[in-house]
Homo-oligomer: A and B are copies of this chain.
Amino acid sequence: MKLKSHYLIKPDQKVKLSRLETSEDGGFRSQEAAAAVLVKHRETLAHLQELLYAGQQRAVLIVLQGMDTAGKDGTISHIFSGVNPQGCDVASFKVPTPLEARHDFLWRCHAMAPPKGMIGIFNRSHYEEVLSPRVHKLFSAKEARAKMDEINDFEEMLVNSGTVVLKFFLHISREEQTARLQARLDDPKKHWKLSAADFKEREFWPDYEQAYEDVLNRTSRKDAPWFVIPADKKWYRNLAISEILVEALKGLKLDYPTPTVDAAKIKL
């Protein structure tokens, strides 16, 4: 099964998150069997990243979104530890700073867009603008749609300039979120990660679900697609995302660039 097409949201698709899987095991007999495949994907990604870096012709932008505890941080550490940090930048977008808030919402994201040769990972992204403020009714559904059109234009421009844009929604169930927050409460070593906001935002689950459905419906485009990844099982989430990345990067047919120097003519 090609995961890239399986979890793809097609441009004309009408998404209902409640109808999409959150828990899946991909038919693996054991977590160990899947772990071996993840190791292979990581090695392949490390190699493809080297080709990307050598060629300096294409960039890759990976957008990670999901409810709190959906596993954005874990996805980054599990899939990208192993990739040369010189070729991979992570940008984490938090509540905008006063300066950022005085700019259009795409400003800070554009600044962090990966240059050619690099993989850029957005841990949260420009999509936050049409999520939390939307849920808290800081603007209307119509205004949100206008912002999403700006997002589409922005991403299209990045694609036109050689960037591969891949967007992942890490799809967890509300029960799984409860379990993960409970696990953090139960483990004193994880208490520093807790914030009162996580528990408050949780009350707005159905509104976030609605906001995400609008995002997926309106901004999954042929050249900047969304993938909705079943993320209740962390190991499966890592496997699925890494597999889609490998598939997408292999499709670029990357190769080492032509040497600028004729090695045969050089004598040391």
Instruction: Quote the shortest CB–CB distance from A214 to chain B (angstroms).
Output: 27
- The answer to whether A259 and B85 touch across the interface, beta carbons within 8 angstroms, is no
Interface size class on chain A is 35 or more
Instruction: Quote the shortest CB–CB distance from A80 to chain B (angstroms).
Output: 5
Q: Chain B residues near A140 (CB, 8 Å)?
A: none
| Tally of this chain's copies | 2
Q: Chain B residues near A188 (CB, 8 Å)?
A: 263
Query: Is A36 part of the binding interface, using a Cβ–Cβ cutoff of 8 Å?
Result: no
Which residues A76-107 have CB closer than 8 A to chain B? 76-77, 80-86, 88-90, 92
In the complex, which of the residues A92, A185, A189 has the most CB atoms of chain B within 10 Å of its own CB atom?
A185
With the chains together, A83 CA to B83 CA distance in Å? 10
Segment at the B interface, from A13-21, A192-200, A219-227, A234-242: A192-200
Select one of B76, B83, B261 contacting A81, CB under 8 A: B83
- The answer to whether A263 and B85 touch across the interface, beta carbons within 8 angstroms, is no
- The answer to whether A185 and B266 touch across the interface, beta carbons within 8 angstroms, is yes
Query: Is A191 part of the binding interface, using a Cβ–Cβ cutoff of 8 Å?
Result: yes
User: Which B residue sits closest to A255, measured CB to CB?
Assistant: B192
- The answer to whether B121 and A257 touch across the interface, beta carbons within 8 angstroms, is no
Q: Chain B residues near A193 (CB, 8 Å)?
A: 54
- The answer to whether A123 and B86 touch across the interface, beta carbons within 8 angstroms, is yes
- The answer to whether A266 and B199 touch across the interface, beta carbons within 8 angstroms, is yes
Q: Chain B residues near A60 (CB, 8 Å)?
A: none
Select one of B80, B92, B259 contacting A191, CB under 8 A: B259
User: Which B residue sits closest to A92, measured CB to CB?
Assistant: B86
Given contacts A191-B263, A261-B196, contact A182 B268 (CB under 8 A): yes
Query: Is A260 part of the binding interface, using a Cβ–Cβ cutoff of 8 Å?
Result: yes
Select one of B121, B123, B259 contacting A192, CB under 8 A: B259
Query: Is A256 part of the binding interface, using a Cβ–Cβ cutoff of 8 Å?
Result: yes
- The answer to whether A260 and B54 touch across the interface, beta carbons within 8 angstroms, is no
Query: Is A73 part of the binding interface, using a Cβ–Cβ cutoff of 8 Å?
Result: yes
- The answer to whether A77 and B82 touch across the interface, beta carbons within 8 angstroms, is no
Over the window 250-262 of chain A, the binary record of Cβ atoms lying under 8 Å from chain B Cβ atoms (1 yes, 0 no) is 0000001111110
- The answer to whether B86 and A90 touch across the interface, beta carbons within 8 angstroms, is yes
User: Which B residue sits closest to A182, measured CB to CB?
Assistant: B268
The 6 closest A-B pairs by CB, nearest first: A191-B259, A194-B261, A86-B90, A77-B84, A185-B263, A192-B257
> Can you report 8 residue pairs joining A to B where beta carbons are below 8 Å apart?
A77-B84, A80-B84, A81-B82, A86-B90, A86-B123, A194-B259, A194-B261, A196-B261
